[in-house]
């Protein structure tokens, strides 16, 4: 069974919410940090409380390495400890690293994030340099069941600069990228009908989302942008087939939920927000 | 004076060779590693010897973070120590990280690599998500004189998958990316006529290289692929205006030069290779 199969089953069991541990030190509630600990150590304590509170309603966790890199060696130690803590729960974990390089350099990134200190179940990748920026990860996909999610269509304002441009053949740049990655993913299909090569697909308007879902039936989606970045449950429901086939990330919406729930402890608030998000997505899927 | 100005002056003084410290443990000569040290610590000793031997003929150094990430926390400690050692020489240093993300995540990467443990003079970036994957680095460019090199046209086989595809308007994808980045770079010009927003441009055939150089006159180029990846001095000379305006990276060609110079100590062999490379490029420029 591949990690993508395990993720499918996790979503079937607990829903598609991906809890994003993009933890900035400033997110810690007032009085939470202990002065005798480093910033990284305090972030780990915060993350552990979030993981404990949300693991029963999380399809997976996603750890954004940039937040940890920004604290240097202390931060990367916290990154490792956060990954270790999530892995001990058995809930799948995506390392959001968006690395993109080729040949031996890509082999080094694969080694870095699919084994050793920073081992994760899935990583995110950037495709700009071509399919040979994806291939060096495939031995880990084939031999260890690891999975990747590759950027295809994002929904940030700058996506229009390159991704949404039209090619000579009428497709968008992101269609070309998605088509080639989807084709490449046929070589690593899992038991549940999804490839170990997943796609990062941001929210969009309903017609286009339905078209993208139909075009890449066997690609599992990592869907960013719920809440803080403006994606709604209705938009996102289009990407899920009978409620599965993708995970929906929220980071700040969950980590900072306590700011919108006065008097509620931060981990409990995060749990509440996961439940609300899960129900909103389920209701939107049921209405389809 | 911006870091790009300093790099221009370094190239004017010592030539365009960029010594790539993409150091794999297996590159260390037999008997070099000390058993009581970690892999990362041994790599730092090797790098220090390479830096000492080549700094008089290097325009800059480039440290490829993937090789260090692959060793986990020990490797990232070695990455920090390598950067510190290079910075102490005063020779400009490029952190080859190819990060590509947006908004607060990109701000975190900027903080990670333009200050603190991993501070470098320049970083490399990947443009897939659009110009808002570049903008968050600009405060460091404007306030601290930092520089970036963004992927535009690479020369790996997979570059044909996406970068070389044709757009509806007849340009290649990489032309569109290069045009928008070059335009964006006009906001941060240095004294020597080059923007702090540089471009990564791989070797290509002579006519096309001349056209790219003419199109982006005010963009400094980071040119990968010399030697091990097949780029020749003649191809690369097209990218240099009177011998400046770009740096030419070689990693394995320099680090493993000792394997082609029997009986010569590894650091001396690296120096010899830098001198040969510098002369080959100078001769090719002189022939233009």
Provide the pLDDT for residue B288: 87
Question: Which residue does chain A place closest to B99, by CA atoms?
Answer: A99
A190 within 8 A of A8, measured Cβ to Cβ: yes
How close, in Å, is residue A222 to chain B by CA atoms? 15
Tell me what pLDDT residue A130 has. 98
- The whole-number average pLDDT for the span B178-206 is 95
Note the pLDDT tens digit of each residue in B118-145: 999 999 999 999 999 999 999 999 999 9
- B-chain CB neighbours of A161 within 8 Å are 130-132, 180
Is pLDDT above 90 for A241? Answer: no
pLDDT of residue B217: 96
Residues of chain B positioned with their CB less than 8 A from the CB of A127: 128, 162
Residues whose CB is less than 8 angstroms from the CB of residue B60 and which lie 6 or more positions away in sequence, other chains included: B7, B10, B11, B18, B19, B91, B92, B93, B94, B121, B122, B247
Which of B108, B117, B128 is opposite residue A66, by nearest beta carbon? Answer: B108
> With the C-alpha atoms ordered B75, A87, A125, A249, is the resulting torsion angle positive or negative?
negative
Beta carbons within 8 Å of B179's beta carbon, 6+ residues apart: B171, B215
Query: If residue A151 lies in a helix (H) or strand (E), which one and from where to where?
Result: strand A147-153
Among A64, A72, A167, the residue with its CB nearest the CB of B117 is A72
> Which pLDDT score is estimated for A124?
98
Partners of residue A135 in chain B, C-beta under 8 Å: 158
Instruction: Give the mean pLDDT of B172-200.
Output: 98
Angle at the Cα of A132 from the Cα atoms of A220 and B72, rounded to 5 degrees: 80
| Predicted interface score ipTM higher than 0.95 | yes
Q: Looking at CA atoms only, how far is residue B181 from chain A in angstroms?
A: 10
Half-sphere exposure of A215 (CA within 13 A, CB side): 20
Say yes or no to pLDDT of B102 above 90. yes
- Decide if A70 and B165 are in contact by the 8 Å CB cutoff: no
Q: What is the residue-averaged pLDDT of chain A?
A: 96
Q: Has B98 been annotated as catalytic? A: yes
Is the confidence at residue B241, as pLDDT, over 90? no
Q: Are B128 and A131 a contacting pair at CB < 8 A?
A: no
Q: pLDDT tens across B202-214, in order?
A: 987 788 889 999 9
pLDDT at B227 over 90: no
Name every chain B residue with its beta carbon within 8 A of the beta carbon of A168: 165-168, 170
| Confidence category of residue A230, pLDDT binned at 50, 70, 90 | low
Amino acid B228: pLDDT:
60
Phi/psi at A84 (5° precision): -60, -45
Given a contact cutoff of 8 angstroms between Cβ atoms, the answer to whether A151 and A200 are in contact is yes
Task: Work out the angle between the directed axes of helices B72-89 and B39-54 (0-180°, nearest 10).
Answer: 20
3-state class (DSSP) for residue B126: coil
pLDDT recorded at residue B229: 61
Contacts of B117 in chain A (CB under 8 A): 72-73
Given a cut of 90, is residue A242 above it in pLDDT? Answer: no
Q: Which two tokens stand for residue A54?
A: 């949300």
What is the pLDDT averaged over residues A177-185?
98
Q: Which of A96, A101, A156 to mutate to test the interface with B (most CBs of B within 10 A)?
A: A101
Alpha-carbon separation of residue A90 from A94, A101, B25 (angstroms): 12, 30, 33
The predicted model gives B245-251 an average pLDDT of: 97
Boundaries of every domain in chain B = 3-287
pLDDT at B208: 86
B165:A167 CB<8 A: yes
Active-site residue numbers of A?
A: 98
> Yes or no: is domain A3-287 CATH 3.40.720.10?
no
**Tens digit of pLDDT for each residue in A143-167?**
999 999 999 999 999 999 999 999 9
What angle separates helix A266-287 from helix A39-54, to the nearest 10 degrees? 50
User: Which residue among B70, B109, B176 places its CB closest to the CB of A66?
Assistant: B109
A chain contacts of residue B113, beta-carbon cutoff 8 Å: 69
N- to C-terminal Cα distance for chain B? 30
Determine the average pLDDT of the residues in A70-97: 98
- Does pLDDT of B30 surpass 90? yes
Average pLDDT over residues B33-38: 98
pLDDT at position A99: 98
d(CA B218, CA B193): 6
Stretch A204-223: mean pLDDT: 92
**pLDDT attached to residue B206:** 81
Per the document, the length of chain A is 288
CA-to-CA distance for A133 and A130, rounded, in angstroms? 6
User: CA separation (Å) from A271 to A14, A53, A162, A215, A263?
Assistant: 13, 6, 37, 34, 14
* B173:A173 CB<8 A: yes
> In this prediction, what percent of chain A has a pLDDT beyond 90?
91
Which pTM value belongs to this model?
0.98
CA of A13 to nearest chain B CA: how many angstroms apart? 30
Q: B156 phi and psi, to 5 degrees?
A: -70, 155
Nearest to residue A226, comparing CAs of A274, A265, A175?
A274
Whether A130 sits inside 8 A of B163 (CB atoms) is yes
């Amino acid at each position: 069974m591949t990690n993508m199969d395990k993720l499918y089953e996790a979503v079937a069991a607990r829903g598609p919410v991906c809890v994003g541990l993009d933890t900035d030190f400033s997110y810690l509630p007032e009085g939470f940090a202990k002065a005798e600990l480093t910033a990284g150590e305090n972030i780990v304590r915060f993350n552990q409380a979030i993981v404990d509170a949300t693991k029963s309603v999380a399809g997976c966790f996603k750890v954004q390495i940039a937040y940890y890199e920004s604290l240097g060696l202390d931060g990367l130690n916290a990154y490792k400890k956060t990954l270790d803590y999530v892995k001990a729960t058995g809930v799948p974990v995506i390392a959001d690293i968006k690395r993109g390089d080729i040949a031996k350099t890509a082999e080094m990134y694969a080694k870095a994030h699919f084994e050793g200190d920073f081992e994760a179940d899935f990583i995110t990748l950037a495709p700009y340099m071509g399919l040979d920026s994806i291939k060096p990860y495939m031995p880990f996909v084939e031999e260890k069941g690891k999975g990747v999610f590759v950027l295809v269509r994002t929904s940030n304002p700058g996506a229009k600069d390159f991704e949404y441009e039209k090619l000579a053949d009428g497709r968008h740049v992101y269609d070309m990228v998605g088509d080639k990655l989807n084709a490449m993913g046929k070589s690593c299909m899992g038991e549940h009908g999804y490839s170990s090569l997943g796609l990062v697909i941001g929210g969009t308007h309903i017609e286009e989302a339905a078209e993208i879902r139909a075009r890449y039936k066997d690609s599992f989606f990592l869907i960013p942008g719920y809440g803080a970045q403006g994606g709604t449950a209705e938009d996102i429901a289009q990407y899920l087939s009978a409620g599965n086939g993708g995970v929906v990330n929220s980071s700040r919406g969950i980590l900072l939920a306590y700011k919108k729930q006065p008097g509620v402890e931060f981990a409990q608030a995060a749990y509440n927000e996961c439940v609300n998000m899960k129900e909103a997505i389920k209701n939107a899927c049921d209405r389809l």
